[in-house]
Chains A and B, each alone.
Chain A
């Protein structure tokens, strides 16, 4: 039932009740944020510290990626499969965690403007889906064999 809060001199906003299905979705996302967050603490921090402290930003080259992902068209080793799984799990958890985080923020500021909220979230989800599908494909195809050639061809 739509309720109306009437406060003299203030904007009146109609608050609609949240449907059951959305409640279940919200509970699932609430739990997902906590568990994926705990997993990402280990995944993302180990990834960050490996690249920035053990290797160092100025030492990062495509060669390292070729080593861990494997090279496209070449046979994949067990180690490379483990690396791919590690990155794939991190990618999915981080992207969904990130989208839901942005959704929470968007909802806080645009809940009363459904057009802006839906447009914003539609764009965010579309861009995120495109980028992560590309990332996932790249991961399982493997890094390009050498620099430049593919781009110049």
Chain B
């Protein structure tokens, strides 16, 4: 039953190449980070201009929903950083274009290597907080 779906996914990946998937992910994660960036700069400036609003925003960041959001943010930021490094290196050194497939693979591998411990530590910290303080 899933065969057409799997075929579509596999064939579009083969036709457009894995680089296309990374291009799409780079775009989505970039937009994700930029939305948080705006919220974050506004929230931090409130530490000067409206400390109670600042503390209210900090309290929201400490709820389970935002602990999940924090993991999404980590994934977006780390992938965008690693994949962006790949783009910068390849485009500033065109001699390396012959190794694009290898670079694509390393982009994913390095992202996972950096992301796994990050998520593990954040999840551990969040879980131990909610276990002692309860869910709010």
Q: Which residues of A contact B (CB under 8 A)?
A: 34-35, 37-38, 40-41, 44-45, 48-49, 52-53, 56-58, 60-62, 65-66, 69, 72, 91, 94-95, 98, 101-102, 105, 127-128, 131-132, 134-135, 137-139, 141-144, 146-152
Of all chain A residues, the one with the shortest Cβ separation from B121 is A53
Of all chain B residues, the one with the shortest Cβ separation from A41 is B81
Interface of A, helix, strand, loop or mixed by DSSP? helix
* Contact, CB under 8 Å: B51 / A151: yes
B130 to chain A, nearest CB (A): 9
Question: Interface 1/0s, chain B 78-95, versus A by CB < 8 A?
Answer: 100110110110011000
* Contact, CB under 8 Å: B84 / A57: no
* Contact, CB under 8 Å: A128 / B38: yes
Q: Contacts of A147 on B, CB cut-off 8 Å?
A: 51-52, 55
B27 within 8 A of partner (CB): yes
Instruction: Please measure, in the bound complex, the distance between the C-alpha atom of A116 and the C-alpha atom of B58, giving whole angstroms.
Output: 35
Instruction: Please measure, in the bound complex, the distance between the C-alpha atom of A144 and the C-alpha atom of B88, giving whole angstroms.
Output: 40
Interface of B, helix, strand, loop or mixed by DSSP? helix
Q: A98-B33, A128-B38, A149-B51 are in contact. List 10 more A-B contacts (CB 8 A).
A: A45-B77, A58-B62, A58-B125, A58-B126, A72-B48, A91-B41, A98-B30, A102-B31, A138-B49, A141-B48
Q: Contacts of B126 on A, CB cut-off 8 Å?
A: 57-58
Q: Contacts of B31 on A, CB cut-off 8 Å?
A: 101-102, 105
Q: A101-B30, A131-B41 are in contact. Are A38 and B50 (CB under 8 A)?
A: no
Instruction: Please measure, in the bound complex, the distance between the C-alpha atom of A132 and the C-alpha atom of B126, giving whole angstroms.
Output: 30
**Which residue of the partner chain, among B38, B70, B88, contacts A131 with CB atoms under 8 Å?**
B38
Question: Interface 1/0s, chain B 20-50, versus A by CB < 8 A?
Answer: 0000000100110110011001101111111
**Which residue of the partner chain, among A40, A53, A57, A66, contacts B67 with CB atoms under 8 Å?**
A57
* Contact, CB under 8 Å: B47 / A65: yes
Of all chain A residues, the one with the shortest Cβ separation from B81 is A41
Q: Which residues of B contact A (CB under 8 A)?
A: 27, 30-31, 33-34, 37-38, 41-42, 44-55, 58, 61-62, 66-67, 70, 73-74, 77-78, 81-82, 84-85, 87-88, 91-92, 118, 121-122, 125-126, 129, 133
* Contact, CB under 8 Å: A45 / B81: yes
B106 to chain A, nearest CB (A): 15
A142 to chain B, nearest CB (A): 7
* Contact, CB under 8 Å: A40 / B81: yes
